[in-house]
Amino acid sequence: DSYYFVVMGCRHCRIQRLCGYDVDDIFTYDATKIVRIRDARLGLLQYAMMFCIAVYIVVFQLLEGNSYLKYRDPMVNVRMTLQQPTLNDCNPNEKNCSDRFIPFDQLPYCCAPGCSPKGEGACQCPWRNFTNFECQYVDGAGDAQAQPDHVIIDTFRHTYMQERNASCDASGCSKLWLSQNATKRFMADIEDFTLLVDHSVQNEELGISRTSREINGWLFVNGTSPRHQQLCHNATDARTQPVFGTKATQAPCYIRPNTTADGSDFFTIRTLMMAMGLALDEDSYPGSGHSLRYEGLTMTVQIDYFNTWPWRGVLREDSGQSKISYVYNLIPLPKNPYKVTEVIFLEYPMRRVKEDIHGIYLSVVPLGRLGIFDLQTLLLTLTTSLTLLAIGSTAVKYLAMYVLKQRQYYKEMLIQVSADMSDVRDLEALSNEQLEEVMRERGLALVGSRVQRILAVLDANAEAADQGRARLLEAG
């Protein structure tokens, strides 16, 4: 057992010990001992479990789940603009553009001939269960309060002309503001207003930057009510899925938004309400006694961005560039009317106009994930999946030892029992000469360290005990 090295011209230099230790003890190789059980049933069980785990990893995690991709959240900027209905959808800022409002007498919620006045602009009409009100024309700029992440679309206004009570002084005040000439108005033809939604998405880490004018989007009609069905049935471009979908004629479905000349998305308020299965002239909620038009509502618009798809990985344009898409998903908040109060001073601090405004509060929430192929993510997924294979192997082992019919035999093969360690103290008390004598009596070779010799004696004792038990069983 020698080691030979070519060192500085010396062809055979033998090194057996290093710093007083055998080099074989220093440079050892530790390996797991494998017990091979020749049983086809147990082997098939293990291979079947490993096959199922491999199918799960490859098919469901990698192919369907795209777990080899690195995902990042998108950064989104949104701009929303409300516009009144115009002829041929022209730009109302242009001189030759005309508005296209429906007359009051054709709107069922406006006061009209045949209705009974109730004061402050209210009336009761025989064709409607809810109270009607006088209507008022407004344009998009006058009806909406737009912010980067939300917009408020007025549907009803309660206006008070107020004067400060001159009798209020340091001695007290019974009523600070005295209201005069209160009026209540519905905003006419709100359903035909259009909401423009212009947004952009980017992620610097993935090298992605696009605007909604460069990518395709969809409106998710999520429901099966008659309004949902009507919207999907009337849309010629309705699809069952936003990617690789087929033509849809019933809800739920995905429909394309309308687009301006430069590619920005816009929807009529009627379309947005129908996509949620709602209408402004239905109950705000059961028992409220008022319509959504009167009380308003709160809704969330989720814009879900994606550039991957199950079984397809990263979607690509014909040019090879990553193909990004998005889906609008509208979520109304039940039993959550919306109201905001505004105050405008006509003569500070004595005269003011107070308005209680009810309407549609629409907030935008960006969602989704953008992904690209990443080798490190793939390796991490595969490394994690190896744990499942280890779990499967462990499960088979414990089934063999504790569940299967021949578990006693499997357990005996898989578990190696050491010698009785209670004899160690007695053997440790022996001198080296006495220990060697014990080893000669048992026919053991006098090799190894003292610890190894004691272990050899313990193994010999255990083997003798096993043989004794076997002879007793044969005799019995």
Which tokens in the block code for residue 46? 């293990």
- Which tens digit of pLDDT belongs to each residue from 196-233? 999 999 999 998 999 999 999 999 999 999 999 999 99
Distance CA 156, CA 358 (A): 5
Which tokens in the block code for residue 297? 């509502």
Which tokens in the block code for residue 218? 């969809």
Name residue 355's beta-bridge partners: 159, 342
Q: Which of 15-29, 36-50, 119-133, 148-162 has the lowest mean pLDDT?
A: 15-29
pLDDT tier for residue 51 given thresholds of 50, 70 and 90? very high
Instruction: Return all residues near 298 (Cβ < 8 A) that are at least 6 apart.
Output: 332, 333, 336, 337, 338, 361, 363
Mean pLDDT of 167-185: 91
pLDDT at 20: 76
Which tokens in the block code for residue 403? 């569940």
Closest residue by Cα to residue 209 from 218, 199, 219, 198: 199
Closest residue by Cα to residue 467 from 442, 448, 438: 442
Distance CA 305, CA 211 (A): 12
Q: Which residues of 319-338 are buried (b: 16+ CB within 10 A; e: fewer)?
A: eeebbbbbbbbbebeeeebb
Element at 227 (helix H, strand E) = helix 226-234
Mean pLDDT of 166-179: 92
pLDDT tier for residue 9 given thresholds of 50, 70 and 90? very low
Q: Which residues of 359-375 are buried (b: 16+ CB within 10 A; e: fewer)?
A: bbbbbbebebbbbbeee
pLDDT above 70: percentage of residues in the chain: 93
Q: Can you spell out the DSSP letters for 271-336?
A: HHHHHTT--TTSBSSTT--SBHHHH-EEEEEEEEEESEETTTEE-B-TTSSB--EEEEEEEEETT-
pLDDT tier for residue 74 given thresholds of 50, 70 and 90? very high
pLDDT at 4: 43
